[in-house]
Amino acid sequence: MNCLRLTRSESPRGMLTYPAMQTDYVQRFLFENLDVRGRLVCLTGAWRRMTEGRGYPPRITELLGQSTALATMLGANQKDVGRITLQVHGSGPIKLLVADCTPDLKIRGMAHHEGDASYIGDGRLALTFENLASGQIYQSLVPLEGATLAEIFENYLQRSEQRVSFLRLFASPEAVSGLLLEKLPGADARDADGWNRVTHLASTLELNETVDTQPYDLLVRLFPEELLRVFRIDPVEYHCPFNVQNVERVLRGLGRDEVESILAEKGEVVIKNEMCNHEYRFDRAAVETLFA
């Protein structure tokens, strides 16, 4: 099953040691005696590559980072099955937040906003699951009910899946992290106080702890008296490659007349990929080659 059972007694200081610091990961785990499962995410290099060159204001960076952390944890739960896309649509200056995670935990995301204002306003959260094997797509839509993104998603789980959860999300320009705990149906029967106990401890987690600590060590430090089953760590990477062939197919689909009209008006054809922050430019010579 590729797991470790961790308790404080496994080393003199209650810490496990590893040869290199782990980052850009999702760590899945289970409280053996409580019927509570969890996921811990920390992204540094992948997150910085996602936001490089975007110039997002601090509040946009924070909300997009939180969305990315959440989408990554959800993607880890659907590993090798489907793609998860999380979208937050707002009526305020923050119009759209998108975070996307593939089955092999490749992430990408973007934000669309007006000015530096920092609120979303009324809106909805859309969670889309695409089963890559069958081609089926499932989508859930819920109103934005809650003061934070974590509260909004907790309400979503309670409403759509009748599942009690605890969610903590952090984001800065350098790193994002998140901790998701889910209470399974038999939790109260096994330990009536277990859920309250672990969520109280989880509420003390801070961003800097996830960045500077191995995930195994962090969980043991955070839940020192609980028996944990820790599964094999899942690496995460940012993946949004520059793909001029796809853009060329789109332009061919428009037809030469349409492309020529844009070229005559603008002097060049410019295509912007907002999700990947790539810009594709086609001058006269490139258009001639495209339709040769």
For 122, residues 6+ apart whose C-beta sits below 8 A from its C-beta are 90, 91, 92, 143, 144
Enclosing domain of residue 112:
3-238
For 69, residues 6+ apart whose C-beta sits below 8 A from its C-beta are 41, 43, 169, 170, 171, 176, 177, 178
Backbone angles phi and psi of 88, in degrees to 5: -115, 115
Q: Stretch 77-102: mean pLDDT, rounded?
A: 88
Per-residue pLDDT of 5-39, as tens digits, reads 333 333 333 333 333 556 899 999 999 999 999 99
Whether residues 131 and 167 fall in one domain: yes
Whether residues 249 and 233 fall in one domain: no
Whether residues 128 and 175 fall in one domain: yes
- Rounded to whole angstroms, how far apart are CA atoms 265 and 259? 10
**Strand-pair category, 228-231 with 176-183:** unpaired
Say which DSSP state 232 is in: P
Q: What percent of the chain is modeled with pLDDT above 70?
A: 90
Per-residue pLDDT of 178-228, as tens digits, reads 999 999 988 999 999 999 999 999 999 988 888 878 899 999 999 999 999
- Rounded to whole angstroms, how far apart are CA atoms 238 and 244? 19
- Which pLDDT does position 8 carry in this prediction? 33
Whether residues 170 and 218 fall in one domain: yes
**Which of residues 276 and 79 earns the better pLDDT score?**
276
Domain boundary among 238, 253, 271: 238
Q: Average per-residue pLDDT in the chain? A: 86
- Which pLDDT does position 82 carry in this prediction? 82
CATH number at residue 145: 3.55.30.10
Whether residues 116 and 224 fall in one domain: yes
Q: Which of 5-14, 115-124, 233-242 has the lowest mean pLDDT?
A: 5-14
CATH number at residue 264: 3.90.1280.10
Whether residues 137 and 253 fall in one domain: no
Per-residue pLDDT of 147-181, as tens digits, reads 888 888 888 887 777 778 999 999 999 999 999 99
Domain count of the chain? 2
Residue 1 predicted with pLDDT over 90: no
Whether residues 173 and 259 fall in one domain: no
Per-residue pLDDT of 255-274, as tens digits, reads 989 988 988 888 889 988 88
Token pair belonging to 104: 């092999």
Report the candidate in 166, 172, 231 with the shortest Cα–Cα distance to residue 48.
172
Residue 249 predicted with pLDDT over 70: yes
Whether residues 133 and 234 fall in one domain: yes
Residue 79 predicted with pLDDT over 90: no
Domain boundary among 220, 238, 256: 238
Whether residues 45 and 17 fall in one domain: yes
Whether residues 74 and 171 fall in one domain: yes
Whether residues 153 and 13 fall in one domain: yes
**Which of residues 96 and 155 earns the better pLDDT score?**
96
- Asked if 198 contacts 31 with a C-beta cutoff of 8 angstroms, the reply is yes
Whether residues 34 and 81 fall in one domain: yes
**Strand-pair category, 94-101 with 82-90:** antiparallel
Domain boundary among 196, 222, 238: 238
- Rounded to whole angstroms, how far apart are CA atoms 202 and 198? 6
Report the candidate in 34, 36, 43 with the shortest Cα–Cα distance to residue 70.
43
